[in-house]
Amino acid sequence: MLIARIWYFLTGYVYIRVEGLSLEKLLNLCARQGVRFWGVERPTYTLMYARVGMRGYLKMRRLLEQVRCTVSVVRKCGLPAQLLRLKGRVGFALGTLCCLAALFFLTSFVWSIDITGLEKVPVEQVTQLLDEYGVKVGVPSSSIDLHACQARLQLDCPGISFVSMRLKGVRLHIEVVEAVDPPGMLAKDQPCDLVADKAGVVAEITPLDGVAKVQVGQRVNAGDVLISGWIPHDEALGTGRSVHANGSVKAYIWYDKTVMMDREAASIKPTGQMHERRFLRLGNWQIQLSGGEVPYTLVDTRWRRLPLLGAGRLFPAEVLVAADYELAAQSGAVDEEALKAAAEALAWQQLEGEIPLDAEVLDRTIELKDRGDGTVEVRLQVKTIEEISQTAPIV
């Protein structure tokens, strides 16, 4: 249906008025000839309004001799009719062409630069370097060599390890990954020990260079020597040699986190009510179109982006839709399973940053203690296995 509407708009159609006592007969004859009507309205028994394509209208005119009906054109519609209206309005037509040409010309420039991923490196430093490369708002897109700018930015800014530059229409997206300072390490030719960086129980030990000083199942504290870089030749004489200790020592580590949680927080659930707000964003400028203030006290807001003008490639314009879902504390007793799940999520969120990314979580236990004042004490214990060795000079 949509394709047919587009076709009739491009080829043109007419909005007609048909009067007579044989409207049904006329419609049946038109149906046999393949004449298609849409938007049919029949205010009275002898009067009908309808829309029909130009070819169908011509066929229908030839059928009027067989029925007692009269047809008149109320108005012509579609693209051909609109172009005919512009025939005598040269100024308007030229203005439209000039506007389209100007819009096409302006889309060949960069009008917005988005830089993401910066935390330690100042944005002003990156912007200044981009200005030196000739990358700034208002320059032609064709004048920017993205690969060369990426390589130069990585070389000129030591705090950046990776740069990705993508040009989407009039927007230049720059994604940056900052360099991570490597942990302090001793040179390979410098003798050292491997010591524990935290307390735990040794689970695995693999000495490659040096002598193991601990055993599996032994508890160690931070700073204890795990693999010694001193290899004795004769313990009685105290002779030996020093090496750069190397190997792997993994240990069981226990983390313990206690947080307080409001019991009512676990009972907060969506009520089913939703309020929608819309904003228009043009580059870095934003204005609210509808929705006004959020009418709810507790709310869960979810955003959607609706790009305009070529999905944001022709012009940096988009509509932001904020769906505000009302939240409210549910009356009655809180389900213990829901309370436990919410408590574990809260405690894990605060504990997660303390656990290394390469650690393997073996077990998690949670304990809840109702304090009687509307709050719950949440204790989360996590058992992991992780590498605990680090180099240290031989003392």
pLDDT tens readout for residues 107-122 = 888 888 888 888 888 8
In total, the chain counts a number of residues equal to 395
pLDDT at 306 over 80: no
User: pLDDT-based confidence at 219, cuts 50/70/90?
Assistant: very high
Residue-wise pLDDT for 6-28, tens only, equals 788 888 899 999 998 888 888 88
Judged against a pLDDT cut of 60, whether residue 343 lies above it is answered with yes
Q: Confidence band (pLDDT; 50, 70, 90) for 220?
A: very high
What pLDDT is attached to residue 221? 92
Confidence bin at 332 (pLDDT 50/70/90): low
Do 165 and 129 touch, CB atoms closer than 8 A? no
What element of type H or E holds 385? strand 375-387
pLDDT (average), residues 242-247: 86
Average pLDDT over residues 364-376: 79
59 is written with which tokens? 């066929």
The stretch 41-56 carries a mean pLDDT of 88
Residue 223 region by backbone torsions, left for phi larger than 0, else alpha for psi between -120 and 50, else beta: left
Please list the residues that pair with 393 across neighbouring strands.
Answer: 192
- Determine how many CB atoms are found less than 10 A away from the CB of residue 266: 22
Identify residue 87 by its one-letter amino acid code. K
Residue 316 is predicted with a pLDDT of 62
What pLDDT is recorded for position 368?
81
Has residue 139 got a pLDDT over 70?
yes
pLDDT given at position 167: 85
**Cα gap 20→18, rounded to integer Å:** 7
Reply yes or no on whether the pLDDT at 144 is more than 90.
no
Domains (range + CATH), the chain: 2-83 (3.30.70.260), 112-178 (3.10.20.310), 192-251 (no CATH)
Asked whether 84 and 39 are in contact (CB, 8 A), the reply is: no
Q: For residue 139, what is the enclosing H or E element?
A: none
pLDDT at 318 over 90: no
Taking the chain, what is the end-to-end CA distance rounded to the nearest angstrom? Answer: 85
Q: Judge whether residue 1 has pLDDT over 70.
A: no
Return the higher-pLDDT residue of 365 and 333. Answer: 365
Q: How far is CA 218 from the centre of its chain?
A: 47
**High-pLDDT (> 90) share of the chain, %:** 9
Integer Cα distance of 374 and 265 in angstroms = 10
Mean pLDDT of the chain: 81
Q: Please, which pLDDT band fits residue 162 given cuts at 50, 70 and 90?
A: confident
Residue 244: φ, ψ to 5°: -85, 100
The rounded distance, in Å, linking the Cα atoms of 49 and 215 is 95
Given this model, what pLDDT does residue 135 score?
A: 87
CA-to-CA distance for 137 and 283, rounded, in angstroms?
11
Q: What pLDDT, on a 0 to 100 scale, did the predictor assign at position 202?
A: 92
φ, ψ (nearest 5 deg) of residue 21:
-95, -5
